[in-house]
Amino acid sequence: MVIVKTVGVVTSGGDAPGMNAAIRGVVRIGHAKGLQFLGFEKGWEGLITGTFKPLTPRSVGGIIQLGGTILHTSRCPEFKTLKGIRKAAETLGSNNVDGLVVIGGNGSVNGAYELSKETNTQIVAVPASIDNDVFGTDETIGFDTAVNTAVVEIDKIRDTAISLERVFIVEVMGRTRGFLASTVGITVGAEVILVPEVKTDKEKLFRIIKENSARGKKSGIIVAAEGIGDTRKLAIEIEKETGKEARLSILGYAQRGGSPTARSRLLASLFANHAIEILLQNHGNRVVGLQNGKISSIDLKKSCENEKKLDLNLLDLAYELAT
């Protein structure tokens, strides 16, 4: 059995508010238990090129409130190849890295699993993503922050929608999954929520807008995940088919940034603590998560082989709440 002494930390894929809080938690909790840390820079690229820096309790000070990641991140096509993965494994071996904490979303978890096949280093994935799409956790670090960022902006948009009696499509992030759109939609009182998991029924959408207008609702909010299709075209079609003025507002990358909420910071700290516990117990190749209100973990392979299900009942609930 390998005794974990040196632990690598990497933030991979899209950034999420709370990644820095997770880095801080991992380093400070691990350091108190005698571990040393190396921070690999620019995501998987840092593991492939061997670019890293030591992390200490002092070097991670003053970052809990910061968005983004002090280790930086990137998209790394080379890591999608076996050659790239093996280079990363060689870096871990040559630097005597016994454990690796991977902080990121669904793609990062999959990358961690592929890397685990080529190295004896114990790997623990800490889910951090505004998409909230990692199987094995009810919530990811950064999701709550992204939801709140979107809610603040959409509340402002509704003021304009009411004043000008318009229908607004508000596009939020979510290329393939609708967790952000569904949660935001419910919490802003959207009349309609559109997600990639369900093909958009335009005739139904037009009918809802007309029905709302007949009830005396002169404005409306449609929250749409970016992956549902061409929202600009949809806004034009709404005007043509319903006679209502329609506008599109794309929230974009603002949802990724900003100071993490208390909720995101708390999850980051709790996930970090459990990640260190797993490594010290030599139970690597796990994904930390929140399940039914408790911090736990599941097998890395199981997380990658299963898809987290979106609660589609939220879409119907939004319609009922908006009547």
Q: Which residue numbers are catalytic?
A: 131
CA-to-CA dists, residue 167 to 89, 94, 164, angstroms:
52, 58, 9
- Yes or no: say if 92 and 8 are a contact pair by the CB < 8 Å rule: yes
DSSP-derived secondary structure letter, 259: P
Measure the CA–CA gap between 81 and 78, rounded to whole angstroms: 6
Q: Catalogue the long-range contacts made by 291-298 (C-beta closer than 8 Å, 24 or more residues apart).
A: 291/136, 291/137, 291/138, 292/138, 295/270, 295/271, 297/124, 297/136, 298/135, 298/136
- Yes or no: say if 171 and 235 are a contact pair by the CB < 8 Å rule: no
- Yes or no: say if 12 and 107 are a contact pair by the CB < 8 Å rule: yes
CA-to-CA dists, residue 304 to 2, 114, 141, 262, 278, angstroms:
25, 10, 18, 28, 19
DSSP-assigned beta bridge partners for residue 122: 99
Tokens of 165: 């009696």
| Number of other residues whose CB lies within 10 A of the CB of residue 202 | 13
Hunting for tokens 């980051």 — which residue is that?
268
Measure the CA–CA gap between 163 and 98, rounded to whole angstroms: 60
